[in-house]
Amino acid sequence: AETKVLAAGESGALVYLGGAGVATATLPAVAAGLNFRFYSTSAQIHVVNGGAAVIQGSYHHNTNGATVARVAVVNATTLALHSTNPLIGDHFEVSCDGTNWYLSGLTNHELTAT
């Protein structure tokens, strides 16, 4: 697993979270127009840290089954793939308006947003 601190100059990047342990990515300071897309390449708990800014928005997950659920995320500073059922291919993206990060994604099971 890897720890990566993203820079504003990497905006638009596809960030692959993988390895045998927890991979952690930290978003850069907020600036309008920044955006990143995250993909899980291993079935592990991977973490995206919003730094000093909050993450808002929503995502969909299939409840580790066949039922799709929409989940709102409000004022979170960290997102983590679910500890029980993360899957390869879980993905979400964040974009920034200069104040907040905004989330959209699709995962096998709920994210842990804190």
For 64-94, how does the pLDDT look when each residue is reduced to its tens digit (9 = 90+)?
A: 888 899 999 999 999 998 777 888 999 999 9
What global pTM score does this model have? 0.92
pLDDT, tens digit, 9 for 90 and up, residues 13-67:
999 999 888 899 999 999 999 999 999 999 888 999 998 899 999 999 988 888 8
Q: Does the pLDDT value for residue 1 go beyond 70?
A: no
pLDDT, tens digit, 9 for 90 and up, residues 49-58:
998 899 999 9
Q: DSSP readout, 56-98? A: EEEEEE-TTTT--EEEEEEEESEEE--SS---TT-EEEEEE-S
pLDDT (0 to 100) of residue 62: 87
